């Protein structure tokens, strides 16, 4: 009787040890899996933000300003052309210090963007990858003054809550949301934007915040 009870206790203890060991392994792997999923999603979001930046820069080159309207930006990409310019020495300059711009021709904006980007779909430009219900990037544009000069600026952004809204594989909703909220709190504790953005409405830059990490 005692021997049977001892065996039962040992089995139960072994089961408890296995369970606790599994919980430890799970607690170690969970943040790693979350980080991997976050990085995978952010790779796609960054790719889209770079598309927006490229389109905005070309828009500004033609219109001398950025736009806060995605429909205008998309239409511009679909219909506008930009010059192909070659910088050559000024033949009338005997000091060999001046140059002139020689326009060789024109290229469609869409072709210019596609030349550096595979599988580019202009109609997806405003939508955040992995977001629910086709949520769009927040887009602003305007002017800031620097030394009395008006400088065009723009900013496109999306927070964690948008592209990290749905749980990744092997995560329940509660655990996923907690890890996302922890990541947000960590960014906010050091006064960083909890999400991804490109450009700025406060300074003349077209950098993305992922490039400043």
What pLDDT does 171 receive? 86
Burial bucket for residue 52 (CB in 10 Å: 0-12, 13-18, 19+): buried
The β-bridge partners of 101 are 87
- How does pLDDT run across 96-151, given as a tens digit for each residue? 556 566 566 778 888 888 877 778 899 999 999 999 999 999 999 999 999 999 99
- Give the largest Cα separation in the chain, rounded: 111
Percentage of residues of the chain with pLDDT beyond 90: 59
Contact 84, 111 (CB under 8 A): no
Residues 67 and 76: their CA atoms lie apart, in Å, by 10
Low-confidence ranges of the chain (pLDDT < 50): 19, 21-22
Residues 39 and 45: their CA atoms lie apart, in Å, by 10
Q: How many CB atoms lie within 10 A of CB 200?
A: 17
Domain locations in the chain?
39-212
Residues 198 and 181: their CA atoms lie apart, in Å, by 22
Closest CA to 135 of 166, 172, 114, 113: 166
């Amino acid at each position: 009787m005692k021997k049977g009870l001892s065996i039962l206790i040992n089995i139960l203890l072994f089961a408890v040890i296995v369970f606790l060991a599994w919980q430890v392994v799970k607690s170690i792997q969970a943040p790693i899996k979350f980080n991997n999923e976050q990085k995978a999603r952010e790779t796609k979001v960054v790719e889209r933000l770079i598309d927006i930046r490229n389109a905005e820069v070309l828009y500004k080159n033609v219109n001398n300003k950025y736009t806060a309207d995605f429909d205008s930006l998309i239409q511009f990409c679909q219909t506008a052309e930009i010059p192909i310019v070659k910088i050559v020495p000024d033949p009338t300059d005997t000091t060999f210090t001046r140059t002139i711009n020689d326009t060789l021709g024109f290229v469609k904006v869409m072709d210019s963007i596609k030349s550096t980007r595979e599988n580019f779909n202009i109609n997806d430009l405003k939508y955040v990858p992995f977001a629910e219900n086709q949520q769009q990037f927040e887009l602003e544009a305007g002017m800031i003054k620097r030394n009395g000069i008006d400088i065009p600026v723009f900013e496109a952004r999306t927070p964690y809550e948008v592209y990290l809204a749905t749980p990744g594989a092997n995560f329940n909703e509660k655990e996923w949301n907690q890890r996302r909220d922890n990541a947000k709190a960590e960014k906010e504790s050091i006064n960083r934007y909890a999400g991804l953005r490109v450009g700025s409405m406060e300074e003349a830059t077209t950098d993305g915040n992922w490039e400043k990490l």
